[in-house]
Amino acid sequence: MQSNWTFWIDVGGTFTDCIGRDPRGNIHRIKVLSSDTSPIIAIRELMQLPDHTPIGKVSVSLGTTRGTNALLQRNGQPVAMLITKGFSDLLDIGTQARPDLFALNIQKHKPLHNHVIEINERLDANGQVLEALDLHQVQTQLGQLKERGYKSLAVCLLHSYLNDDHEQQIAKLAHEMGFDQVSVSSELSPTIKALDRFDTAVIDAYLSPVIRHYMANLRKSLGAIKVMTSAGALVDSEIFAGKDSLLSGPAGGVVGFAHAAEQAGFQQAIGFDMGGTSTDVSRFDGRYEYQYAGEIDGIRVVTPMLAIETVAAGGGSICDFDGQRLTVGPDSAGAHPGPACYGKDGPLAITDINLFNGKIDPARFPFALDVNAVTLKLQALRDRMDQNMSLHQIADGFTRVANLKMASAIKRISTARGYDPTDHVLVAFGGAAAQHACAIARSLHIREILLHPLAGVLSAHGISMANVKRFAEKTILKPLNEQTLKTLQTTVKQLAKTLYEQVLAEGVAPSDIDEPMQLLDLRYAGQQTAITIAKPADGAWAGAFEQMHTQLYGHAHLDREIQIVTLRVEVTGNMPKPVTLTQKSVNRRPKPARMSTVYFDALPHDTACFERADLQPGDRLIGPAIIHEDLSTIGIDPGWTATVNEQFDLILNDQSPHLQDLDQTTQCDPIRLELFNNHFTHIAVQMGLTLQKTSLSVNVKERLDFSCAILDSHGDLVVNAPHIPVHLGAMGATVRGLLEHVSDIRPGDSYLSNNPDLGGSHLPDLTVITPVFDPTGKQLQFFTASRAHHAEIGGKRPGSTFPFAKNLAEEGVVFSNLRLMREGHFDETSLRNTLTSGAYPSRAPDENIADIRAALAANTLGSRELQSLIAMHSWPVVHAYMGHIRDAASKQCQAAISRIIDGQYRFEDKLDDGSPLAVAIDIHGDKMAVDFTGTGPVNDNAFNANRAVVESAILYCMRCIINEDIPLNGGVMEPIQIILPQCMLNPPKCDDPTQHAAVAAGNVELSQRVVDMFFGALGIMAGSQGTMNNFIFGNQQFGYYETICGGSGGGPDFDGTDAVHTHMTNTRMTDVEVFETQYPARVRQFAIRQDSGGDGLHRGGNGVTREIEFLKSLDVSMLTQHRTYPPKGIAGGSPAKCGGNTLKRENESTLIDLGPLVQVRVEAHDVLTIQTPGGGGYGQANGR
């Protein structure tokens, strides 16, 4: 009997790839359709066993998408979650941010649990017991869950990462009572951040029973099985956890490409795995890159995972024309109906494009492909475009758009992390990657591509190269110093011993177990994002951290304390590997099997076609060429060569110089319009990532309260990354304010502004502006700009948001184009002097300066990328397409306006103090006039705005109405006239801050009301909560700021959404454990406020209740609305419930109603309760 076969299997969503090694050492492979028993079917096929013959003793390792599929299809085990009292809705609220910034029908990701039980217990931020656990009560609660049929539990208690006693008591009792699955948050992830840890516990409880059942069935036929985890490590199937299953399949591909690169002699490699619906990219440089927290299908998970960047561009990505631009994805044709060539009237997709260009041989498909269907789709699309272009030019345009999306993903894992992609080999694998690899590599200036002989089954090959590995971590939150490091060694030894025993239990011999690896997550004190550093050979942790920080962000804070966030330990057990086949090279030029016409860059080429099975080491091919494999097709573009090495790898080399784009025409075409749109948007998004990572404050890093933009030399917006809506478009006015008042702008300069008369919104929003010149330094071409909210910028009260401010001076420090940089030199002295001078200086100048430096880093990256774009395409072309992109946005806006019936639409509202708000919208064809006449006069408090805020609100509204992925630029506003008389939305300008109207609430409150009035006037949706519920507390040493979610309004065909940020903000809530660790306050409740949304045909969403206990004397400010007058319903819908702000003093029973505007001194153990409004209802309820 054959008893010593070894199998490595990748069970994908559609196909199962299996590599087998027989007793003689020969390698076999097979691909079968995936099913519950596909690993068994594949093994029987390779062993040539009849169905009922026992397989016998074999060695099996596999990766599986079973967990991922169960998550995506939402068919896991029903879960009951046990959570600390007051937080039953925590996972429903989530971060409070909405997934789609411009969706009016907000679709939040639903949590996976089916039922919640609140547990009466509480720990403080140090892990000390505030309320003891009543185990008898828990027993009763668990009994009720048993009666309801629950078998799977997630135990989620606050601060259990510091003290797991309560969680362990509950888990022990649950096991004794017979629950099948008990996932304990502190066991799965003993790290800070409750939301992430609780989601992880729930997903583990949801998936583990499904995985366990699947594996048990396989073991009946196959015996012991090892399974690939998301970390690219093998684990015994009996202890394989649901939380570790989500990247089981893709992880095999990462290990596979990394091993292929190492075997071929490459030190640094980028993996490029292009499948049917998406493309995965990842990086390797002798060590795998991990991420220890991520989000998959809207569910947060904390576990070691290989760092994989996914982009929605694959063979099935739909290719279309939106009236202005060619678009690729994000939607996919799927398997049914599939691309047009499948003959099922499917949409045009990238697979069709490759077929049409001759890069796919129809004869090699398992079913007939319909090339004529593709031709008809392209002809119909050309008719819609009304362009004088050949079908192959259009097809090439789609290829270029798709390639740019995938190249951008590669930049995100290389350039954005401080690595040069040109130092890497591109390892292409997956069904379609080899047809796009040459073009993508050339666009990134990567000169070499590696194609492994098992590229079609590289994930299965990667499983054969994987090792057993175990991970452990522990939250530290202490300064990095000799004393802390010395103390940590005891913990390191304990964790390493536990991991060593776990690896040993997997059957790994002691001699094959590596020494434990120690890593630390380090950050500067005050930051939220940490960098994981492996233990340096010289033990100099601080130096290694500062070097990596400089590599990532361009600078280090040498005067700042470094903090250890998390200790990590890894232990690896090395597994036996299959022998790599080699053969001595012989230099020869093989003869092609045939010739074919293939289109590259829209031009036909007589192309040699080869069979990969016929190629031998030493063979050298010159592009253009096509190489056919059993499972894929390889395209070698003109200018590339391919050589077979001794391991049978194909090594492709780019022999052509990297030339400037030869097409210098400036006339608009739909292909380049989309390409340049993607170029500009990618740059702005990358600026935002740099700002987030480099900043110090919670506001930027955690709450994401920032925005980045590119503007032309006149200050007109080219593109605004979709960050925070209230910042959209506003930076154009700020740049124009710079141009009007500063004449001596030089290369290497940067400026700082927050003055509302110069395009600022309110003083906490600081805008850093950087001019971009041509290489000679004579021609100003662009501006890059970054705006971020600073929690403290001076003013009469901590947090710089004083509700009762009488003038601008009382709100903080005013910057009117302060020059931060002069020809590349940072003027910190002038900046610090301004921050710390005046009647109300900043209370946190160091944090201000750190975040301003982060904005400078973001602008510098944007400037560098713009200069590269010009170098590639030339200034005339780039300049022309700035205009074309604006024109396209203007046309799409005009089209949206023209869909509204001509006429005047009015809406009136009022602030809680009775101040009137009014708007009249006149529609005439494709033009719109928005008139705010009738709005109340300038207020003597903070409730004033300016034109920039109003324009941002209108731009946001129009983007929602257009409801297409258009570039956010000044073109959107061209068909719109805004009539804004002097009023609270447009106070008079004044150079003297002591005489200027206060504006703190304009940005955060009045902007929301402008949007609700606009949508209400046009009947688009009912009023949402209409406030950001600004909550600020602090003292002379610090300021904390947050905005709080509420309900969204109902619409004509949708209900409102509960507990979500709406319209002009989308900031995240600080995690409760982070909040309590960093600030002298405790969250006692954070819950959905049931029945606070307005009734109607479509109900409004509910607001929330947030209850805060203060732990020391503090100043508290609040800027809120809809505490007196509720958000309105429309079309017969009912209004929502008003919100409320109440204070209960310690030892007093009376609740103090604080009203909408709050400035109060609180003492230790005073409790503030904030109830946020719901959204209004749409339509009459009796029609429901």
Coil, strand, or helix at residue 102? coil
CA distances from 989 to 260, 339, 986, 1071, 1162 (A): 65, 58, 9, 40, 36
Average pLDDT of adjacent 10-residue blocks, the chain of 1184 residues: 79 85 89 88 92 89 90 92 98 95 94 97 98 97 97 98 98 97 96 96 97 94 94 94 91 94 94 86 92 89 91 88 86 84 92 94 83 95 89 94 91 81 93 91 94 89 93 93 94 95 92 95 83 92 91 78 94 83 65 93 94 92 91 90 93 82 76 84 88 78 82 91 77 93 94 94 93 92 94 85 90 95 92 93 90 93 92 91 91 95 97 98 98 97 93 94 84 95 96 94 94 98 97 87 96 97 93 94 98 97 99 96 98 98 94 96 98 98 81
Per-domain residue ranges of the chain: 85-201, 317-461+583-654, 467-573, 670-891, 1022-1184
Q: Which class for 384: exposed (0-12), middle (13-18), buried (19 or more C-beta within 10 A)?
A: exposed
The CA distance from 68 to 45, in Å, is 26
Structural tokens at position 845: 């100048």
Structural tokens at position 15: 């196909």
Angle separating helix axes 670-694 and 845-873, nearest 10 degrees: 160
Q: Which class for 78: exposed (0-12), middle (13-18), buried (19 or more C-beta within 10 A)?
A: middle
**Partner residues linked to 117 by β-bridges:** 82
Which pLDDT score, from 0 to 100, does residue 581 have? 59
Give the other-Cβ count within 10 Å of 291's Cβ.
17
The CA distance from 646 to 57, in Å, is 34
The CA distance from 202 to 205, in Å, is 5
Q: Which of 535, 518, 521, 536 is nearest to 476 (CA)?
A: 521
CA-based R_g, the chain, Å? 31
3-state helix, strand, coil in the chain (%, to 5): 30, 25, 40
The CA distance from 1057 to 1121, in Å, is 19
**Partner residues linked to 906 by β-bridges:** 920
In degrees and rounded to multiples of 5, residue 690 shows phi and psi of: -65, -45
pTM confidence score: 0.89
1001 alpha carbon, distance to own chain's centre:
29
Secondary structure string (H, E, C) spanning 427-442: EEECCCHHHHHHHHHH
Which pLDDT score, from 0 to 100, does residue 102 have? 92
Pure H helices in 94-164: 135-147
Q: Which of 409, 400, 466, 413 is nearest to 439 (CA)?
A: 400
Per-residue burial over 356-370, b if 16 or more Cβ lie within 10 Å, else e, is: bbbbbeeeeeeeebb
Which pLDDT score, from 0 to 100, does residue 1 have? 40
The CA distance from 548 to 532, in Å, is 9
Check if the beta carbon of residue 452 is closer than 8 Å to that of residue 429: yes
- Encoded amino acid at 1099, one letter: R
The CA distance from 893 to 756, in Å, is 27
Which pLDDT score, from 0 to 100, does residue 964 have? 83
Distance from the first to the final alpha carbon of the chain = 69
Which pLDDT score, from 0 to 100, does residue 3 have? 56
The CA distance from 60 to 67, in Å, is 19
Q: Which class for 662: exposed (0-12), middle (13-18), buried (19 or more C-beta within 10 A)?
A: exposed
Structural tokens at position 155: 């135990």
In degrees and rounded to multiples of 5, residue 914 shows phi and psi of: 90, -5
Give the pairing type, strands 467-479 and 233-236: parallel
CATH architecture of structural domain 467-573: 2-Layer Sandwich (3.30)
